[in-house]
Amino acid sequence: MTFGEKLFKLRKEKGLSQEALAEKLNTTRQAISKWENGQGYPETERLLMIGNVFEVTIDYLLKDSVEPSNDKKAGYYVSKEMAEGYLLSANRVSKYLALGFFLIALSCIPYFIFNQDPAIYIIPTIVLATFGIGMFVSTSFIEENQYKVLKTEPLLFDENYLKELTNRYKNLKKRYFVINLAGSGLFISGILTLGIERRFFTTEFLLPYYPICIGLIAIGIYIVIRTSSQLDAYKLLAKNDIYTNRIFFKFQRKLRKRMDEF
């Protein structure tokens, strides 16, 4: 069975028209027609994308095997457009996630400002905490389903683009190291101030400054979570070999494979 015959067979089994497949591969219907009629082969990037669409290996597409292999050890090809879209999506998710933690931390401030009157501090506390929890919930809607596969499969990239991603990750890591250090310093200074005052002083002379301490903690949390989440997104792509070698990733992969077999 030739490549063209396999492509035609897979397309029909998937219920895709030539136009629909061309849209998925970011090419033209005429190109699909030529490939199916044996008038040439797609470039490597398109071959990898075809493997993703039909969940078959490149070996099956190019060799004379009759049955497709379900072995996905080769990996999932990620185009530059998909990778950049994922990074933008991860940036939005990190913002809402960090903002959620920030608001929940801030919800403690009204208690120390209006601690003499629960009727006053309870309302802003509930409002801030509710908005913070709302931010957490919203991340599940912001994260797009098309990018979830990136966390479940080993990834393949164009070699030049992978080098570009790796350099961007290294530069971002250096820049975020300073920002992360500042965020950690704010968090630790707020925690230490509260801890020292409660441990070594009994007069509570720092009580009026508790809101400032909590504000420092909240800002520190926001900075650390925001930068760490963005770095993790870059690391997933640029250092995917490290990510896929994690025990948790391997466990998830085996579990998913058994569920598919079941």
DSSP string, 113-179: HSTT-HHHHHHHHHHHHHHHHHHHHHHHHHS-GGGGGGGTS-EE--HHHHHHHHHHHHHHHHHHHHH
Distance CA 42, CA 45 (A): 8
Distance CA 116, CA 94 (A): 36
Least confident of 8-12, 176-180, 185-189: 8-12
pLDDT tens-digit readout, 227-260: 999 999 999 999 888 877 777 666 666 665 565 5
- Give the pLDDT score at 66: 52
Last residue of a domain, one of 17, 32, 62: 62
Q: Report the mean per-residue pLDDT for the chain.
A: 83
Do 105 and 50 share a structural domain?
A: no
Kindly state whether residue 133 falls inside one of the protein's structural domains: yes
Do 240 and 197 share a structural domain?
A: yes
Last residue of a domain, one of 32, 62, 92: 62
Do 85 and 53 share a structural domain?
A: no
| CB 109, CB 208: distance < 8 Å | no
Distance CA 139, CA 97 (A): 7
The first and second tokens of residue 107, run together, are 């919800």
212-243 in b/e form (b: 16+ CB < 10 A) is ebbbbbbbbbbbbbbbbbbbebbebbbebeeb
Do 89 and 35 share a structural domain?
A: no
| CB 4, CB 37: distance < 8 Å | yes
Q: Comparing 117 with 40, which gets the higher pLDDT? A: 40
Do 29 and 94 share a structural domain?
A: no
pLDDT tens-digit readout, 166-177: 999 999 999 999
User: What sections of the chain are H helices per DSSP?
Assistant: 3-14, 18-25, 29-36, 44-54, 58-62, 80-106, 109-113, 118-142, 159-200, 210-238, 240-244, 247-261
Distance CA 144, CA 84 (A): 13
Q: What is the pTM of this model?
A: 0.68
Contacts of 241 (CB under 8 A, 6+ apart): 154
How many domains does the chain fold into? 2
Distance CA 172, CA 180 (A): 11
| CB 18, CB 50: distance < 8 Å | no
Kindly state whether residue 67 falls inside one of the protein's structural domains: no
Q: Domain range for residue 182?
A: 81-150+157-254
- Give the pLDDT score at 126: 92
Distance CA 246, CA 238 (A): 15
- Give the pLDDT score at 72: 45
Do 133 and 41 share a structural domain?
A: no
Q: What are the C-alpha distances in Å from 153 to residues 76, 148, 219, 233?
A: 6, 9, 35, 15
Kindly state whether residue 37 falls inside one of the protein's structural domains: yes
Q: Mean pLDDT over residues 110-124, rounded?
A: 80
